[in-house]
Amino acid sequence: MNLYKYVSEKINEKLGMTVNLESPRNREFGDFATNAAMVMAKNAGKNPRELAGDIANQLRELDFVADASVAGPGFINIKLRNNFIWKNATAPKQIAAQKPMVIDLDYGAYNVAKSLHIGHLRTSIVGDTFNRTAKFIGHKTFSWNHIGDWGKPMGLIIAWIERLHPELPYFSDNFDPNMPVDYEIDTVELNTYYPSASKLAKEDADFQARAQEIKAKFQDGHAGYFALYEKFLAISLAAMNNTVKRLNILPFDYDLGERNAAQYLDDVEKILRAKNMIYESDGALVINVRRDDDTAPMPPYMWRDSRGADTYDSTDLAAVFCRKKKDNPDKIIYFTDLRQSLHFEQLFRAADMSGIYPYEKMEHIGYGTINGSDGKPFKTRDGNAAGLDDILDLATVAVRERVAESGKSLDDETINSIALAAVKFNDLLHDVRSDYIFDPKSITSFEGRTGPYILYTAVRLNSILKKADAQTTEPATYELTADERNLLIQIMDFERTVISAFDNRATDLIANYAYDLCQLINTFYHNCPIMRDDVDETVKAGRLHIVRVARDTLATAIDLMGLKVPSEM
């Protein structure tokens, strides 16, 4: 149940007005509090404490209210009835959205022939949790892995392979696609091609020009370049799939990126031309996306570069056109690095001005940077920018050390799940928009606001339930302790948390909720014995019921975060 919503609706109904309701963290004085009397008294020129007394009397008539009392200058504290809590604290269920939407989510967006970098970590983790959250509350989503499989890097890589193996037939304009070619790309080496080529292109103008020429011809359908491209594309797609698995994120609904979008460029260009939106500037074709009230610089949107090639900009606009056609979404949401904010502002304007898709239905969630302890973008020990795998590997090493220190022995699969949880939970915990410092040691601690702590709590609940399998006594209501009440009330707050995580595009609310839930679970576990012989049968059955509901709630939160719970820890 959505406790907050339920209680506030009932109170508003009873009092015939909308009151401001708070649920304090410390529930010693009440489970909810309102300053309604103080607000009303001010408006009506009455004594707030007197008015609060009248309101408290009315609230006491509500069937879920155990007590309503006046405090201080006119606050009202409301305490819920135990049996109301007991009855309504149930395992979370999929929610039916009041206004279900179709939402296209653009995240992941990996690049062909470029190993995944640290930035891809956040888009994957946050995008995936947002996707799961949207589905959970009843929206229809389509996840788009908008692969970088068309632009400048393709030209650079083909040019690089041409340098390494000029004898290969791919570079001829008369390439025959039916002729078998005896050439396999080395998977590990492939990752070095792009950095090497882009370095060379900066130093060597001829090579740069060659790569650009190749890119333009490639986009025009050069058969040889295309055959070579298909080879490294296959390797990259396999690598992306491995990453999706390693990160335990949902498979994408569409692995369609720039190349797919490029098919729609002609359609889009017709629209733009009909609206007179394209003009020439320094040999390139651009779109003016400035507005009269702009105060910040707003450069034109690049439709075609000076060599006539498609661009990141043009394929992104074509992708919007494609999505509108395929999914007809109510919203398109992009998850990328904050540094792409200007690009998306331009894209949204171009889509809106051309009538392809309205500005207000598009959103860019820009995330901050993952830094090292020096506050600069995280680097590996050898001083290179960290890749996505480096981050996971570092976390795995840290988990392994901790486990060894504690004298436990855990299998590799368990270690990997813990490391993944450490990285993902820590990422989700932070406001997406902010930078954070990546410290493998602290995120892998089994205590505190960490992924391992969350998993550890889940493992503990599972093991209690496993031992209690034979328990048959039907749970019935009983006198709840403060720890039990606090836990159950937190459970009743799950639905509201998930909805507000979605509404505010704030997946950190889910991570923080999970942590608070675990804290309450562990306090309950510590203070409320379950399987001990001196525990009364009714209490035992009741507490097992609480464990079950807590476990299901935590498991649902864990699932939204895409973590895997090991069988032991």
Decide if residue 127 touches ligand ARG (CB under 6 A): no
Binding mask 313-352 for ligand ARG (x = CB under 6 A): ---x--x--------------x-x----------------
Binding mask 475-494 for ligand ARG (x = CB under 6 A): --------------------
Which of 5, 27, 66 shows the shortest CA–CA distance to 487? 27
Decide if residue 148 touches ligand ARG (CB under 6 A): yes
For ligand ARG, the closer of residues 56 and 147 by Cβ is: 147
Instruction: Count the residues of the shown chain that bind ligand ARG, applying the rule CB under 6 A.
Output: 9
Query: Cα angle at 134 between 447 and 335, to 5 degrees?
Result: 80
Decide if residue 162 touches ligand ARG (CB under 6 A): no
What is the residue-wise DSSP string for 528-553? S--S-TTS-HHHHHHHHHHHHHHHHH
For ligand ARG, the closer of residues 109 and 398 by Cβ is: 109
Quickly count: other Cβ atoms within 10 Å of residue 41's Cβ. 18
Report, in Å, the least distance between residue 319 CB and ligand ARG. Answer: 6
For ligand ARG, the closer of residues 111 and 212 by Cβ is: 111
For ligand ARG, the closer of residues 261 and 499 by Cβ is: 261
Measured CA to CA, the distance from residue 18 to residue 65 in angstroms comes to 18
> Could you give the count of Cα atoms lying within 13 Å of 511 in the half-sphere of its Cβ?
28
Binding mask 281-320 for ligand ARG (x = CB under 6 A): -----------------------------------x--x-
Do 301 and 287 meet the contact criterion of CB atoms below 8 Å apart?
yes
Report, in Å, the least distance between residue 146 CB and ligand ARG. Answer: 4
Side by side, the strands of the sheet bearing 362-367 are 140-144, 102-106, 331-337, 362-367
Which of 105, 110, 189 shows the shortest CA–CA distance to 149? 110
Which stretch in 50-58, 105-113, 273-281, 513-521 sits in contact with ligand ARG by CB under 6 A? 105-113
Q: Give the β-pairing of 32-34 and 65-71.
A: unpaired
Do 84 and 544 meet the contact criterion of CB atoms below 8 Å apart?
no
User: Tokens representing 480?
Assistant: 């709840």
Binding ligand ARG (rule: CB under 6 A), the pick from 21, 109, 546, 565 is: 109
Enumerate residues 6+ apart whose C-beta is below 8 A from 270. Answer: none
For ligand ARG, the closer of residues 341 and 406 by Cβ is: 341
For ligand ARG, the closer of residues 268 and 549 by Cβ is: 268
Report, in Å, the least distance between residue 421 CB and ligand ARG. Answer: 25
- The distance from CA 534 to its chain's CA centroid, rounded to whole angstroms, is 46
Residue number closest to ligand ARG, CB atom: 109
Query: Cα angle at 353 between 351 and 354, to 5 degrees?
Result: 65
Which stretch in 23-31, 38-46, 103-111, 285-293 sits in contact with ligand ARG by CB under 6 A? 103-111
Decide if residue 146 touches ligand ARG (CB under 6 A): yes
Do 12 and 24 meet the contact criterion of CB atoms below 8 Å apart?
no
* Contact footprint for ligand ARG (CB under 6 A): 106, 109, 111, 146, 148, 316, 319, 334, 336
